[in-house]
A and B are shown apart, each in its own frame.
Chain A
Amino acid sequence: MSDLINSSLRELSAALATRQVSAVELATLFLDRIEKLNPSLNAFVTTDRAKTLAQARTADEKIVGAGGSAISPLCGIPVAHKDIFCTQGWRTSCGSKMLTNFVSPYDAHVVEKLAAAGMVTLGKLNMDEFAMGSSNETSYFGPVKNPWNVSCVPGGSSGGSAAAIAARLTPAATGTDTGGSIRQPAALCGLSGLKPTYGVVSRYGMIAFASSLDQAGPMAKSASDCALLLNAMAGFDTRDSTSLQRPVEDYGRDLEKPLAGLRIGLPQEFFGAGMDADVRAAVDAALAEYRRLGATTLEVRLTNSGLSVPAYYVIAPAEASSNLSRFDGVRYGYRAPEYADLAEMYSRSRAQGFGAEVKRRILIGTYVLSHGYYDAYYLQAQKIRRLIAADFQAAFQQCDVIMGPTSPSVAFAFGAKSADPVQMYLSDIYTISTNLAGLPGMSLPCGFGANNMPVGLQIIGNWFDEARMLNVAHKYQQVTDWHTRMPETLK
C-alpha cells in the first residue's frame, strides 16, 4: 500500500481498474495521512471523511460496473481542491475570514469536470487569502509549512496544493495562477504544475482575484500526471465568456515525442543578477540535460519583462478591488457584529473580514482606477501588457519554448519577506509576464539548492502549446528523478 503514495496517476488508475486497490482504500490511505500529517503542515483547511468516502464508493461502483471497459483514467483517484474553487456542500473560504461561513451551493466548472471524471475529493486546500501572496502567510487559517523544511514557506498562493502533494497527502491537486501561484509553489515544493493558456480552463466558480489573469491548472508530481488532469479540466464552458471554444485535445498526445531539434529560448532578462547562485546551478544543469536530449539553446530578448511586476501590480489590484466589492456582508460571508448604519456595516465588515495584504491591494486598485489616475496607471499598464505580449511573440519566432528559473530563490523562511511587500512581489518576477501575455507556463523540479530545498525550472510555451510543453517536461522527467523525490521525514 505505501508505494501507492508515490505512484503516478496512470499506475493508480491501473491498480484501481485491476482492483488491486479500491477507491475507498485509496481515499482512506490519503485521509489517514492527512489526519496524521496535516496538523504540522496545515495544507488542508477542510476535510470531510464521510463525504470523501461516499464519493469513493460511487467511483468503485463505476469501476466495477464498467467491468474493464473504457472509463475515465482518473476514476477513483483522489484529488484536493484549492479553497478558491466553489465546491457544492463544502465550505469555500478562499483563505479568508470573510468566507469562513460560506458553504457553496454550487460547483465550479473545474470541480464539476473532475467529479464527472470520477475523481474523489479529499478536501479543500489552504491558500493565501484571495490568492494574494507568494508564501501562504496571508491565509486566515495560518501559513502552510513546506514539507521539505517546516520552517520555510511552501510558496503561494497555491501553497496548500503544493505542500499536500509534496507530503503525499494527495496525488493531485487543483491550483490557480494569477501571477505565478501554481508555478512558484510547485517550484518551492519540488512538483510539476501547469498554468494553461488563458481561456483553456473555465473560471466559472473560481473565486476571482484578477479576472484577466486568473487561470486554473493542475498540480501533481509529474508532467504526465498534469497532462491527464488537464485533459479533464480543460474545455469550453458557456458560463465563462472568456473561455475559449476550441476542439477537445489530448494534452498527453505528444508526451513521448523526441526532443531532437527543439529550440529552447533563454531570455537574457531571466538570467540576470536577481537569481540566486544555487538556483542558477540547477537550472544550468537542467539545460545541459536538454542539450543532451537533442535540444539546442539560444538567447532571446524579452526587453520589457522588467516592467512586468509594476504593470502587474497595477492591473491585478485594479481588477481585485472591483472583484472583491461583492464581499460586503449583505448577502453572505462575514458581517461585523455591531454597526450604527449602512456605511459602518460596510466598513467594519470589510475591515474585520479582510486581512492586511488583501486590504493593501484593494487600496492600490482603488487608487489606480480613481478619477485622474486611471490614464496614468491602468491604461499605461495595459499598454505595457501589450508590449510584453509582443516581446514573447517575437521570441517565439526564434524558439519553440522559453526556459528559465521559476523563482529567483528556493523556499525562504517564514517572515523573511512578509514585512516587505515589494521583496515578496519580486519572488514572482519570472512568472508574472506569462500571465500578462496569457501564455501557458509550467514549473518542474530540476534539482536541489541551498539547504537541500527544491529548485524549479520554468517552461513557457506559446498560446495553446500545452501539449508540447508537457512533452518537453516529460522527456526530461524520463531521464531525471527529481520529480519522484519526497521529503525523507514524511516517508
Chain B
Amino acid sequence: MKRDTQWEVVIGLETHAQLQTKSKIFSGSSIAFGAEPNVQACAVDIALPGVLPVLNREAVVCAIKFGLAVGAQIAPRSIFARKNYFYPDLPKGYQISQFEIPVVSGGGLAISVPQGDFLRGVGNAGDGPKGVQSQATEKYVHLTRAHLEEDAGKSLHEDFHGRTGIDLNRAGTPLLEIVTEPDMRSSAEAVAYAKALHALVQWIGICDGNMQEGSFRCDANVSVRPMNQKEFGTRREIKNLNSFRFMQQAIDFEVQWQINEIEEGRAIQQATVLFDPDTGETRSMRSKEDAHDYRYFPDPDLLPLEITADWIAEVKSGMPELPQAMQQRFQTEFGLSSYDAATLTASREMAAYFETALDSAGKENAKPVANWVMGELSARLNKDGLEIAAAPLSAQQLASIVRRIADNTISNKIAKDVFETLWAGDGKDADAVIEAKGWKQITDTGAIEALVDEVIAANQKSVEEYRAGKEKAFNALVGQAMKATRGKANPQQVTDLLKKKLGG
C-alpha cells in the first residue's frame, strides 16, 4: 500500500448498559454495587443444580423504554438464547442472552460532533461561550440492535496467591447490549455517540451511567480502509473501554497501528484487543482462531418474551420527554438558540432545573434564566464538584434573582452577590436578601441627580478631561457614582443624567 493513501476509519460500538432494576434479571438478588463478595448471590445466581431462571419484568420495561427513545422496532416476540462457554465466573457454563431475535432492533441516535477540542463536554459549559453557536457537525448513528442479557461474575486474581477468587454478586445483573452499525468515521464521532448514548440511558432512567463501577462500558470495533473503497477492512475489537478519554486514546492508537501495519505490508488479523491506559497502547488478547463456538440455542427454561402493543403504550405513557424533543421545544417555545437548548438538555436534571426556574420566573425571562443556569450556576457547581440535583440554590431561588434583575430592583452585579448569599444558605429568596442587605437599587431620579451633582463637584479633573474628549474619564465618573452607592445606583440612570449634566 502506498504511503500517500488516504485512509478512512470505520468504527462500530457495542455498549453494555447495566439496567437500573432492583433485582437481577433472572433472580431476586439485589444488584447494589459494592457488597461483600457473594452475599448477593442466591441459589439461582450460583447455579445450584435444579434452579431455574425467571425473567425480571422491570428489565424488559427498560428495554422497551430504550427502544422507544431511539425510534427502534420492539419485537412482539423475542427469544432468550444460551451462549455456552466455560469460565469460573460464569456459574451456569452459559450466559443467557438474546441471539437471533433481539428485543430491540433498528433505530438510531442523532449526535453532534464538536470540532476541535471535542472532549470539553457539557460539564464545562459554565466556562464556555454563552449563547454562542459552537462549531459542530450533526450525524445520525444507526443502531443494529439492543438485546437483554445477564452479566457474569468477577474473577479476583490479586488477593489470592496463585489462586483465583470468584465473586458472583454481579452474576445475573441485567444488561442491555446496544450495538451500532459501523457508522462512525473518527474517534471524535465514536466519543460523541458514546456520550449521547450515555446521556440518553440516564435521561430515560434505565442506567445510572456510572462508568467507574462498570455500569456503562463500551467495546469498539475498529477497521480502516482506503478512502472510497467499498469493502470494510478487517476489524479488531477493543474491549472494555470504561472512560471517554480512554475510548478516544484507544481508537486513535488502534487506527494508527492498523494503518502502519498495512503500509508496512502486513495484513490485519481479526482479533480482540485490550487497551492499556498506562502505555496508551492496544494489545491483542485473542485471535480469531481462539474464538469460541458459543453453540447458541434457544433457552428451553424461558418462554419467548412477548411484548404487546398495550404494554409498549403503557411504558410510553410513563416516559419523560426525550432530550431532542425538548431541545426543539426550548427553541420554538422560548426562543433559545440550538446551542442553549442542547446545553440545557445535557441532563434531565439540568433541564428540570431550568424548567422549574422558568415556571417561577416567567417565560419572558427564558434567555436570562438560561444564561444563569448555564453560566453562574454551572460554574459554581463545577467549582464545588456538585451535581445540579444537589445544588444548594433551588430553581425558585434562582428565578427570584432573575425577576429582580428584570424589574430593575438589582443590577447584574448585585445579582451575583445575591446568588452567592443564597448559595451559602443565607436567606429565603432574592427579596429577603436584598431587604436584609439593603441592596435595593436606587432608581429615584431626585436621589440620583443629587448623587451625580456630588460626583461632578468632587471630580472636576475627570469632568475637564471628559470635556476635552477623553471618553474614559466618563466611565470613571460613572464608577465613582456606583462606588458611592456601593453599586446600588441604577447604572443606566446614572449614565443618562451624567451625560445630560455634562452636556454630552
A and B bind: yes
Query: Which residues from A are CB-within-8-Å of B43?
Result: 105-106
Q: In the complex, A203 Cα to B50 Cα: how many Å? A: 8
Q: Are A342 and B88 CB-contacts (below 8 A) given A238-B54, A241-B302?
A: yes
- Contact, CB under 8 Å: A319 / B300: yes
Indicate whether B1 reaches chain A with its CB closer than 8 angstroms. no
**Known contacts A369-B295, A374-B297; is-contact A326 B92 (Cβ 8 Å):** yes
The answer to whether A205 and B88 have CB atoms under 8 Å apart is no
A240 within 8 A of B: yes
Q: Give the CA-CA distance A99 to B84 in the complex, in Å.
A: 22
Q: Whole-angstrom distance from the CB of B353 to the nearest CB of chain A?
A: 42
| B94 proximal to A (CB < 8 A) | yes
Task: Assess whether A242 is in contact with B91, with CB atoms less than 8 Å apart.
Answer: no
Given A241-B301, A242-B303, A325-B86, verify A105-B48 contact (CB < 8 Å).
yes
B55 adjacent to A322 (CB under 8 Å): no
- The stretch that binds B, out of A38-46, A162-170, A327-335, A424-432, is A327-335
- B433 at interface (Cβ–Cβ under 8 A)? no
Chain B residues with CB under 8 A of A86: 48-50
**Residue ID in chain A nearest B49 by CB atoms:** A207
Q: Are A328 and B93 in contact (CB under 8 A)?
A: yes
Q: Mark B80-123, 1 if CB is under 8 A from A, else 0.
A: 00101010100111100000000000000000000000000000
Residues of A within 8 A of B303 (CB): 241-242
Instruction: Give the interface residue-count category, chain B.
Output: 20 to 34
Are the C-beta atoms of B52 and A94 separated by less than 8 Å? Answer: no
Known: A106-B43, A241-B55, A370-B295. A331 touches B91 (CB 8 A): yes
CB-based nearest B residue for A330: B88
Determine if A231 is an interface residue (Cβ-Cβ < 8 Å): no
B50 touches A206 (CB 8 A): yes
Q: Contact check, A208 vs B50: say whether CB atoms are below 8 A apart.
A: yes
Interface string of A274-312 (1 = CB under 8 A from B): 000000000000000000000000000000000000000
Q: Considering the complex, give the chain A residue whose CB is closest to the CB of B293.
A: A371
Q: Mark A90-113, 1 if CB is under 8 A from B, else 0.
A: 001010000100101110100000
Shortest CB distance A370–B (Å): 6
B166 at the interface (CB under 8 A from A): yes
CB contacts under 8 Å to B, within A355-411, are 366, 369-371, 374, 378
For residue B479, CB closer than 8 A to chain A, the reply is no
Q: Cβ of A325 and Cβ of B300 under 8 Å apart?
A: no
| Chain B 284-312 near chain A by CB (<8 Å), digits 1 or 0 | 00000000010111001111000000000
A314-351 Cβ-contact flags toward B at 8 Å (1 or 0): 00001101101111101110000000001000100000
Residue A476 CB within 8 A of the other chain: no
CA distance A124 to B110 in the complex (A): 62
Tell me how far the C-beta of A386 lies from the nearest C-beta in chain B, rounded to whole angstroms.
Answer: 14
- Chain B residues with Cβ under 8 A from A102's Cβ? 49
CA distance A94 to B52 in the complex (A): 17
Whether A94 contacts B49 in the complex (CB less than 8 A), given A106-B43, A325-B84, comes out as yes
A326 x B47 contact (CB < 8 A): yes
* With known contacts A211-B300, A238-B54, A322-B297, A369–B93 Cβ distance under 8 A: no
When distances are taken between beta carbons in the complex, the residues of chain A under 8 Å from B93 are 322, 324-326, 328
| Residues of chain B from 141 to 180 with CB closer than 8 A to chain A in the complex | 164, 166
A240's nearest neighbour on chain B, judged by CB, is B52
**B residues 2-17 touching A (CB-CB < 8 Å):** none
Q: Does B61 contact A (CB under 8 A)?
A: no
B48 to chain A, nearest CB (A): 7
A328 to B166, CA, bound (A): 14
Q: Is B128 an interface residue (CB 8 A)?
A: no
**Given A99-B49, A207-B49, A330 contacting B297 (CB threshold 8 A):** no
Residue of B nearest to A98 (CB): B49
Does the CB pair B297–A242 fall under 8 Å?
Answer: no
The interface residues of chain A lying within 8 Å CB-to-CB of B55 are: 241
B393 at the interface (CB under 8 A from A): no
- Kindly list chain B residues whose C-beta atoms are within 8 Å of the C-beta of A208: 49-50, 301
Q: For the complex, what is the distance from the CA of A319 to the CA of B82, rounded to whole Å?
A: 10
Contact (A211, B88) CB under 8 Å given A86-B50, A239-B54, A370-B295:
no
The number of chain A residues with a CB under 8 A from chain B is: 44
- Within 8 Å by CB of A332, from B48, B94, B164, lies B48
Give which listed residue, B48, B50, B300, contacts A212 with CB less than 8 A: B300
Q: How far is the CB of A49 from chain B (nearest CB, A)?
A: 25
Taken together as a complex, chains A and B put the C-alpha atoms of A318 and B82 apart, in Å, by 11
Within 8 Å of chain B (Cβ to Cβ): is A236?
A: no
CB proximity of A371 to chain B, nearest CB, Å = 5
Chain B residues with CB under 8 A of A378: 297
Interface membership of chain A positions 201-240, coded 1 if the CB is closer than 8 angstroms to chain B and 0 otherwise: 0011111101110000000000000000000000000111
Which of B53, B91, B300, B302 is within 8 Å of A326, CB to CB? B91
Chain B nearest Cβ from A187, distance in angstroms: 27
Q: A211-B300, A211-B301, A369-B84 are in contact. Are A326 and B49 (CB under 8 A)?
A: yes
Distance in angstroms from B183 CB to nearest chain A CB is 28
Interchain CB contact under 8 A, B94 and A239? no
**Distance from B59 Cβ to chain A, minimum over Cβ atoms (Å):** 14
In the complex the two chains form, is A204's CB within 8 Å of B293's CB? no
CB distance from A157 to the nearest CB of B (A): 16
Question: Are A322 and B82 in contact (CB-based, < 8 A)?
Answer: yes
CA–CA, A204 and B91, complex, Å: 17
Task: Give Cα distance in the complex from A319 to B84, angstroms.
Answer: 11
Tell me the residues in window 53-92 of chain A with beta carbons closer than 8 Å to chain B beta carbons.
85-86, 92
Given A318-B297, A322-B297; A205-B84 close (CB under 8 Å) = no
Chain A residues whose CB sits within 8 angstroms of the CB of B49 once the complex forms: 86, 92, 94, 99, 102, 104, 207-208, 326-327
* Residue B313 lies at the interface, judged by CB distance under 8 Å to chain A: no
Bound-state CA distance A325–B51 (Å) is 14
Binding site for A on B (CB under 8 A): 43, 46-55, 82, 84, 86, 88, 91-94, 164, 166, 293, 295-297, 300-303
Known: A86-B49, A242-B303, A325-B93. 19 other contacts (CB 8 A): A85-B50, A92-B50, A105-B48, A203-B50, A204-B50, A206-B50, A208-B49, A238-B54, A240-B54, A241-B303, A319-B300, A324-B93, A325-B84, A325-B94, A326-B92, A330-B166, A369-B296, A371-B293, A374-B297
5 closest A-B pairs by CB: A325-B93, A211-B300, A212-B300, A369-B295, A205-B50
Interface residues of A (CB under 8 A from B): 85-86, 92, 94, 99, 102, 104-106, 108, 203-208, 210-212, 238-242, 318-319, 321-322, 324-328, 330-332, 342, 346, 366, 369-371, 374, 378
A-B contact pairs, 11 of them (CB 8 A): A104-B49, A105-B48, A203-B52, A208-B301, A325-B84, A327-B49, A332-B48, A369-B84, A369-B297, A370-B295, A374-B296
